[in-house]
């Protein structure tokens, strides 16, 4: 039998990091401490870490984890997990699997957030509060290569489908061997994977019974992952649209009696507007248009003039109360008002006055059978009359 003896740590180094170990009672959820390091050189840190013995006794593997959620939620969880793997362990499959196991262990522990992305990006808004340093130290500006990213996603996918790294057990913490975090003296050292050391809480909070917390599949959108994750890029756009709709809900309820898409024209909308809330029409139009690059919103306060489709009479166009036009490619975004109904000031705010043609009396036929002459129009013989310029052009 070969006995490996933990090397002695020089007293001067141990004095710098000695800290009373506190075992948290089962009735008190342990505190998740920020990432703060002892003031040691990398060489001294390695000496100190090598002197910490591995915990004795059982080191059971974690139970398999299986993600339950829809495809969009799973995609966001997968990419958060893959980001933790690659940014923390580099393109090293063994190290990546170990990091992923720690994330899932934290997910099922009541001291941490209830979602995969919540665990990975916990404290990201504070440089000293983030739990995974890549989320707050600028590392996200670097992007993995496509093969490396796909390998990390494959590892994350396997873990979300039940793959377990037995060596890591129920570890909830880890660090590289050239640093010494303040919390390391209060935890049990479980495993070493390449240059990373893995720890679990001492006492009841490090036992399997503590890892039975119900988790959530409501994975948040992480904007900082949008550059490498379509799931978070698309999710951000949908979340922004949903937020805008929710914010505008009181306005929509007050301003519109009914809004509907124009049949056959998915980027056009008509609305029956509440005459008493004209100041809310622009927001109503923008909410209906959402994120479309091109959009047309036309509104009336007179129900009798509301068109039933894309075709409109001259009278309906003349009675239009408000219109909103958008064409991002052309740099156009315009709000126009029927200033006879809503007097306003300023250039470009009023719709062009629409001319409603009045039907003229049909002249009596001439006795010689020839058609009656057209008053006010001259034309050359043999030419077909061209239509008049439209006085009913839409705004």
* 294-300 and 265-273 beta bridge pairing: parallel
Q: Which residue has the higher pLDDT, 99 or 8?
A: 99
| Beta-ladder partners of 105 | none
Is the pLDDT score of 381 beyond 50?
A: no
**pLDDT band (50, 70, 90) for residue 228:** very high
Q: Which residue has the higher pLDDT, 47 or 79?
A: 79
What is the predicted pLDDT for the residue at 238?
54
pLDDT above 90 as % of the chain: 40
Q: Mean per-residue pLDDT for 229-252?
A: 59
> Which residues, 6 or more positions from 192, have their beta carbon under 8 angstroms from its beta carbon?
177, 198
**pLDDT band (50, 70, 90) for residue 344:** low
SS3 per-residue string spanning the chain: CCCCCCCCCCHHHHHHHCCCCCCCCCCCCCCCCCCCECCCCHHHHHHHHHCCCCCCCCCCCCCCCECCCCHHHHHHHHHHHHHHHHHHHCCCHHHHHHHHHHHHHHHCCCCCCCCHHHHHCCCCCCCCCCCCHHHCCCHHHCCCCHHHHHHHHHHHHHHHECCCCHHHCCCCEEEECCCCEHHHHHEEEEEEECCEEEEEECCHHHCHHHCCCCCCCCCCCCHHHCCCCHHHHHHHHHHHHHHHHHHHHHHHHHHEEEEEEECCEEEEEEEEECCCCHHHHHHHHHHHHCCCCEEEEEEECCHHHCCCCCCCCHHHHHCCCEEEEEEHHHCEEEEEECCCCCCCCCCCCECCCCCCCCCCCCCCCCCCCCCCCCCCCCCCCCCCCCCCCCCCCCC
* CA pair distance 88, 70, nearest whole angstrom: 27
What is the predicted pLDDT for the residue at 121?
94
Read off the pLDDT of residues 147-179 as tens digits, 9 standing for 90 and up: 999 999 999 999 999 999 999 999 999 998 988
Length, in residues, of the chain: 395
Any idea which residue has 């342990």 for tokens? 30
What is the predicted pLDDT for the residue at 27?
80
Is the pLDDT score of 389 beyond 50?
A: no
Is the pLDDT score of 345 beyond 70?
A: no
Q: Which residue has the higher pLDDT, 305 or 4?
A: 305
**pLDDT band (50, 70, 90) for residue 123:** confident
Q: Mean per-residue pLDDT for 280-306?
A: 89
Q: Mean per-residue pLDDT for 218-239?
A: 82
Q: Confirm if 341 and 302 have CB atoms less than 8 A apart.
A: no
What are the φ and ψ backbone dihedral angles of 4, each rounded to 5 degrees? -95, 120
Q: Which residue has the higher pLDDT, 8 or 53?
A: 53
**Best-predicted range by mean pLDDT (11-20, 22-31, 123-132, 268-277):** 268-277
Its pTM surpasses 0.75: no
Other C-beta atoms closer than 10 Å to the C-beta of 240 total 14
Any idea which residue has 């948290």 for tokens? 24
Q: Confirm if 82 and 222 have CB atoms less than 8 A apart.
A: no
What is the predicted pLDDT for the residue at 373?
44
Structure token pair of residue 55: 């915990």
Q: Confirm if 285 and 297 have CB atoms less than 8 A apart.
A: yes
Q: Which residue has the higher pLDDT, 262 or 371?
A: 262
* CA pair distance 269, 172, nearest whole angstrom: 53
Nearest to 264 by CA among 309, 208, 314: 309
């Amino acid at each position: 039998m070969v006995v490996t003896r933990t090397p002695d740590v020089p007293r001067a180094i141990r004095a710098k990091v000695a800290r009373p170990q506190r075992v948290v009672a089962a009735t008190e959820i342990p505190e998740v401490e920020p990432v703060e390091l002892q003031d040691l050189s990398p060489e001294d840190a390695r000496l100190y870490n090598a002197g910490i013995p591995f915990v004795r006794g059982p080191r059971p593997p974690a139970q398999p984890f299986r993600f339950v959620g829809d495809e969009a939620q799973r995609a966001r969880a997968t990419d958060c997990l893959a980001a933790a793997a690659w940014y923390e362990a580099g393109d090293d499959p063994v190290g990546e699997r170990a990091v992923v196991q720690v994330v899932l262990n934290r997910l099922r522990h009541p001291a941490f957030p209830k979602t995969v992305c919540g665990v990975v990006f916990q404290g990201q808004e504070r440089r000293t509060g983030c739990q995974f340093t890549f989320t707050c130290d600028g590392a996200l500006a670097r992007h993995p290569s496509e093969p490396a990213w796909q390998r990390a996603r494959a590892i994350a996918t396997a873990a979300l489908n039940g793959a377990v790294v037995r060596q890591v057990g129920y570890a909830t913490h880890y660090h590289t061997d050239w640093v010494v975090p303040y919390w390391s003296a209060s935890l049990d050292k479980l495993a070493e994977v390449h240059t990373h050391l893995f720890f679990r809480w001492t006492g009841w909070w490090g036992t399997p019974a503590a890892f039975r917390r119900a988790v959530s599949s409501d994975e948040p959108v992480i904007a900082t992952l949008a550059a490498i994750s379509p799931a978070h890029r698309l999710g951000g756009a949908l979340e922004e649209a949903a937020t805008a709709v929710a914010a505008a809900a009181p306005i929509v309820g007050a301003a519109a009696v009914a809004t509907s898409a124009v049949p056959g024209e998915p980027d056009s909308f008509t609305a029956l507007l509440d005459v008493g809330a004209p100041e809310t029409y622009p927001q109503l139009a923008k909410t209906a248009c959402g994120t479309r690059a091109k959009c047309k919103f036309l509104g009336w306060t007179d129900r009798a003039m509301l068109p039933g489709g894309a075709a409109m009479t001259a009278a309906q166009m003349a009675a239009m109360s408000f219109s909103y036009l958008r064409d991002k490619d052309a740099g156009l975004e315009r709000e126009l008002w029927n200033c006879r109904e809503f007097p306003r000031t300023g250039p470009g705010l009023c719709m062009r006055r629409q001319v409603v043609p009045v039907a003229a009396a049909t002249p009596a036929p001439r006795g010689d059978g020839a058609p009656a002459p057209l008053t006010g129009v001259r034309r050359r013989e043999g030419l077909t009359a061209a239509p008049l310029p439209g006085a009913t052009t839409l705004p």
